Amino acid sequence: MKIFNIIERALEYIDSNLNEQIGYERLADIFHFSPYYFHRMFTIVTGKTITAHIRDRRLEQACVMISGTKKAMLDICLDCGFDAYSSFSRIFKNKYGLSPKEYRKQGYSPVIISVEKLILSFKENLENLEGNNMNEKIMKEIQELNKKIELKPDNRENIFTRGNLYYDSDEYEKAVADFTRSIELDPSVAVTYYNRGTSYHNLGKYAESIADCTKAIELEANRPDFYFARGMSYRFSGEYKKAVADFTKAIELDPDEAAYDYCERGRAYHYMEESEKARADFAKAAEISPDIIAQYKDVMTHYEIT
């Protein structure tokens, strides 16, 4: 599911910005999803609402600071993203059965679970949900949206969200139909063309995918995922030079998250028989994200990257 990769990045973003004012609407905007869809899929994958997850991570961070530092409780409260000590103390006691001061007196030594371990646990949860259970959850979401769309057939947000759910359940023809209707209702939203383009790609309709991704880029030129998607369709079409250009642009726009871009550019170079450039790209991808080696085992082994 493509949404899991986005949620993984959202989890990392949350942990890096716990002292900021963040919520599901802000996260959805950062990762370019509708708030409703993003919030529902986050809940399905993690088992918690976004608000509950942020609250729990802030409390866990507070526990570590209370036990491991001599900072004043008010400072800890503010450092962990809570607005007022009174609300922080109440939420803390509801969670742990002790006030923050009592918690410090008890001398606990909590260890906050790393975001990497959290992601691993969510991946295991997602694997358990795959198949019938996951499809049942998504189908329930779609059924709810069907009712809303029946009442308000021109509500673009609901149709767009249903398209995303169809995409995540691999029903790409239905996804295309919903994204097409969304475009008819509002042709100015770049991400709708992108989503339809990725749906077309999965249907093997690469020319249509390229056209949609190009339109998305015309509307919003600084999105690396748009270039990556078009690059993939160029590569599958055998237009390797154009693919390289798009993957290069994606890398330039977001070099810290470019492991997949380097791998796919490496594949394009590989097919162009430019072995040294391919090897350099795969090595760079492995440097950014060592876990990616297993996903690209064939070419990584070919270029002796382990």
Question: What pLDDT digit, counting tens, does each position of 167-207 carry?
Answer: 888 899 999 999 999 999 999 999 999 999 999 999 999 99
At residue 148, does pLDDT exceed 80? yes
DSSP H helices, the chain, are: 2-16, 24-30, 35-46, 50-68, 73-79, 85-96, 100-106, 115-129, 132-151, 156-168, 172-185, 190-202, 206-219, 224-236, 240-253, 259-271, 275-288, 292-295, 297-302
Residue 175 falls inside a structural domain: no
Residue 155 falls inside a structural domain: no
Residue 209 falls inside a structural domain: no
Of 115, 135, 150, the position where a domain reaches its end is 115
pLDDT at 2: 62
At residue 1, does pLDDT exceed 60? no
Residue 258 falls inside a structural domain: yes
Of 83, 115, 147, the position where a domain reaches its end is 115
- Count of all residues that appear for the chain in the document: 306
- For residue 224, what is the domain's CATH number? 1.25.40.10
What is the domain count for the chain? 2
- CA–CA distance, 189 with 223 (Å, rounded to integer): 13
- CA–CA distance, 251 with 60 (Å, rounded to integer): 35
Of 80, 115, 150, the position where a domain reaches its end is 115
Residue 33 falls inside a structural domain: yes
pLDDT at 132: 47
Residue 150 falls inside a structural domain: no
Residue 196 falls inside a structural domain: no
At residue 90, does pLDDT exceed 60? yes
User: How do residues 102-113 score in pLDDT, each as one tens digit?
Assistant: 999 888 878 788
- Which range (7-16, 50-59, 104-113, 180-189) has the least confidence? 104-113
Q: Which domain holds residue 99?
A: 2-115
Position of tokens 């369709």?
233
Mean pLDDT of 46-56: 87
Residue 177 falls inside a structural domain: no
- For residue 43, what is the domain's CATH number? 1.10.10.60
